[in-house]
Amino acid sequence: MKLPIYLDYSATTPVDARVAQRMMPYLTEIFGNPASRSHEFGWKAEKAVEEARKHVADLLNADPREIIWTSGATEGNNLALKGAAHFHRGKGRHIVTVKTEHKSVLDTVKELERQGFEATYLQPGPNGLIDLEQFKAALREDTILVSVMMVNNEIGVIQPIAEVGEICRARGIAFHCDAVQAAGKIAIDLARLKVDLMTVTAHKVYGPKGIGALYVRRKPRMRIEPQIHGGGHEQGLRSGTLPTHQIVGMGEAFRIAKLEMAADNERIRSLRDRLWNGIKDLGEVTLNGDLERRVANNLNVSFAFVEGEALIMALKDIGVSSGSACTSASFEPSYVLKALGRSDQLAHSSIRFTLGRFTTAEEIEFAIGLVRRKIAWLRDLSPLWEMHQAGIDPDKLEWAAP
Amino acid sequence: MSAAWNPMGYSEKLIDHYENPRNVGSMDRSDPLVGTGMVGSPSYGDVMKLQIRVNTKGVIEEARFKTYGCCSAIASSSLATEWIIGRTLEEAAAIQSTQIAEELDLPPVKLHCSMLAEDAIKAAIADYRAKQPGAQSCLSH
């Protein structure tokens, strides 16, 4: 077993060796521009791009013509939200989204607000899930666009996308879903889900970084305005020369995901449950996000009475994410955990473990041992833990402001 | 260990104090020879408890600390205990946060940790003095 151990698969995944193999010839041999219609170099590249498009569409149960290549999730979310808002601005100017969305959604909606749109940010419940009644109440006559993610990147909870889709469709509101953390982890059936726009990316599904796709529904037809103009690629919705090797990689990654998702999930879920069972008895350990409505690979836990930066330094033999922005001067706790109602302290002392295709039982055993040792060590150092042990609640004491 | 992982650019000395903190522990705060200082606040991310045991000559014989906080806070309080053992109360009270910051090469965003350590020393001394028979309200700091 090699240290450090990677347990941050929701940040990114390694490219699967099979995917890398498949990509290689498209860098050197089959290098043509897929837009070159006048020779075989171009035709071969175009064929590979279209095969990949089919694999991506297949994982989502969509039509290949509904798949638009992008550079990744940030571009996909920008194109979907700005594209839909700009196209439908004549119908209204109200947008509904959720406080716990990814920054590439929230910051894009903020930009649309600067452009004159109005936005409502839904408050999720303490388990991270949105309330459908609250959602319905937030819709207005002039609501033109809704954006709700399928799976949250920090806490892994699965939002009620089918229900949100039904509500939007019944009112003729465009519905965008960021499915970056869902693709390859849960089944997505766009023949059933009433989603108009869906963002996915390759690098969370064992594909390369720098390539993603935006699903744009054909029936009923979803219209968006392009945000990048040029050669009219991708039905005019996203100009720019297609990166054939990246696209081939994404296609192969999504093809493998469709085949192996069920088996991968079962194995990963049992490892994740083992990890949770191995640390939950440490005391004052809080699981963040609903345990049932949650993807198999995510465990997000707050350890009370230890501080975030010291914790992440203590756990440097495992690559995990922290709810504390410990490398920045601002020292901002996770806005997702804050939205769930966690205190600053618990948000700071949270750790996100995300497992993946290459996580082993041995690695999980090591992680459990390390977390147990380091939490015990940091708590032994913590005057707050000492108070807690003595039956004093540190939060009830009067503390002088610094 | 992957020793290279050090996003804050901490000095070796600081990392050593964080990984091997000196004088961790607690003493009986009701002991008349023990002074206890507790500074900081949980919501701001740092709480330091620093305790001293003072002998009849006014020399700090023993020091203990517990800190909830970032690596810099843990290291600053560890270093503070190391520096005050064997010193008179007057000498200990003269320790400046800037000296702690310099010794550990604290990044600018972490300077408050050294200030908290200075405050913790002074609070422990004040608590000790307040406990002594005939304690006067006029303290030397």
User: Does the pLDDT at position A333 exceed 90?
Assistant: no
User: Does the pLDDT at position B85 exceed 60?
Assistant: yes
Q: Between A230 and B5, name the one with better pLDDT.
A: A230
Q: Is B33 on the interface with A (CB under 8 A)?
A: no
Which of A316, A318, A381 is the best residue to mutate to test the B interface, defined by the most B CB atoms within 10 Å of its own CB? A381
Helix (H/G/I), strand (E/B), else coil: A248: helix
Active site residue A177: no
Q: In the prediction, which pLDDT does A402 show? A: 54
Residues of A in contact with B74 (CB under 8 A): 310, 381
Query: Among A308, A317, A399, whose Cβ lies nearest the Cβ of B41?
Result: A399
Give A37-63 pLDDT, tens digit per residue.
999 999 999 999 999 999 999 999 999
- Tokens linked to A70: 């992008």
Average pLDDT of chain A to the nearest whole number: 95
Q: Where are the beta strands (DSSP E) in A167-313?
A: 174-178, 197-201, 212-216, 285-287, 298-303
Query: Among B21, B38, B109, whose Cβ lies nearest the Cβ of A381?
Result: B21
Q: Which residue of A has its CA nearest to B46?
A: A307
CATH homologous superfamily, domain A5-9+262-388: Aspartate Aminotransferase, domain 1 (3.90.1150.10)
Give A167-216 pLDDT, tens digit per residue.
999 999 999 999 999 999 999 999 999 999 999 999 999 999 999 999 99
Q: Predicted confidence band at A217 (pLDDT cuts at 50, 70, 90)?
A: very high
Give A224-246 pLDDT, tens digit per residue.
999 999 999 999 999 999 999 99
Mean pLDDT for the stretch of residues A144-163: 98
Q: In the prediction, which pLDDT does A211 show? A: 98
Mean pLDDT for the stretch of residues B42-61: 93
Q: A318-319 and A321-322 as β-strands: parallel, antiparallel, unpaired? A: unpaired
Q: Are the Cβ atoms of A313 and B18 closer than 8 angstroms?
A: yes
DSSP string for residues in A207-218 = S-TT-EEEEE-T
Q: Predicted confidence band at B3 (pLDDT cuts at 50, 70, 90)?
A: very low
Q: Predicted confidence band at A361 (pLDDT cuts at 50, 70, 90)?
A: very high
User: Does the pLDDT at position A385 exceed 90?
Assistant: yes
User: Does the pLDDT at position A321 exceed 50?
Assistant: yes
User: Does the pLDDT at position A329 exceed 70?
Assistant: no
Q: Is A313 on the interface with B (CB under 8 A)?
A: yes
Q: Predicted confidence band at A345 (pLDDT cuts at 50, 70, 90)?
A: confident
Residue carrying structure tokens 């699967």: A16
Percent above pLDDT 70 for chain B: 91
The interface pTM score, or ipTM, of the predicted complex is: 0.92
Residue carrying structure tokens 């990744």: A72
Q: ∠ CA A156-A158-A162 to the nearest 5 degrees? A: 160
Q: Are the Cβ atoms of B68 and A384 closer than 8 angstroms?
A: yes
Determine if the pTM surpasses 0.90. Answer: yes
Average pLDDT of chain B to the nearest whole number: 91
**Cβ of A104: how many Cβ atoms within 10 Å?**
18
Give A126-141 pLDDT, tens digit per residue.
999 999 999 999 999 9
Mean pLDDT for the stretch of residues A302-328: 85
Mean pLDDT for the stretch of residues A106-113: 98
User: Does the pLDDT at position A330 exceed 60?
Assistant: no
Query: Among A3, A307, A344, whose Cβ lies nearest the Cβ of B70?
Result: A307
User: Does the pLDDT at position B140 exceed 50?
Assistant: no
Q: In the prediction, which pLDDT does A331 show? A: 61
Q: In the prediction, which pLDDT does A73 show? A: 98
Closest CA to B125 of B49, B56, B37, B59: B37
Q: In the prediction, which pLDDT does A325 show? A: 59
Q: Is B49 on the interface with A (CB under 8 A)?
A: yes
Q: Is B21 on the interface with A (CB under 8 A)?
A: yes
Q: In the prediction, which pLDDT does B2 show? A: 40
Q: In the prediction, which pLDDT does A328 show? A: 47
Residues of B in contact with A384 (CB under 8 A): 42, 47, 68
Q: Is B20 on the interface with A (CB under 8 A)?
A: no
Q: In the prediction, which pLDDT does A323 show? A: 78
Where in the sequence of chain A do the CATH 3.90.1150.10 domains occur? 5-9+262-388
DSSP string for residues in chain B = --TT--TT---HHHHHHHHS-SSB----TTSTTEEEEEEEEGGGTEEEEEEEEE-TTSBEEEEEEEEES-HHHHHHHHHHHHHHTT-BHHHHHT--HHHHHHHHT--GGGHHHHHHHHHHHHHHHHHHHHHSTT--S----
For chain B, list the domains and their CATH numbers. 12-131 (3.90.1010.10)
Query: Among B67, B74, B112, whose Cβ lies nearest the Cβ of A402?
Result: B112
Q: Is B30 on the interface with A (CB under 8 A)?
A: no
Q: Is A401 on the interface with B (CB under 8 A)?
A: yes
CATH architecture of structural domain A17-257:
3-Layer(aba) Sandwich (3.40)
Q: In the prediction, which pLDDT does B136 show? A: 57
Q: Is B111 on the interface with A (CB under 8 A)?
A: no
Where in the sequence of chain A do the CATH 3.40.640.10 domains occur? 17-257
Residue carrying structure tokens 């050197």: A28
Q: Are the Cβ atoms of B44 and A345 closer than 8 angstroms?
A: no
Query: Among B1, B44, B47, whose Cβ lies nearest the Cβ of A383?
Result: B47
Which of B68, B111, B113 is the best residue to mutate to test the A interface, defined by the most A CB atoms within 10 Å of its own CB? B68
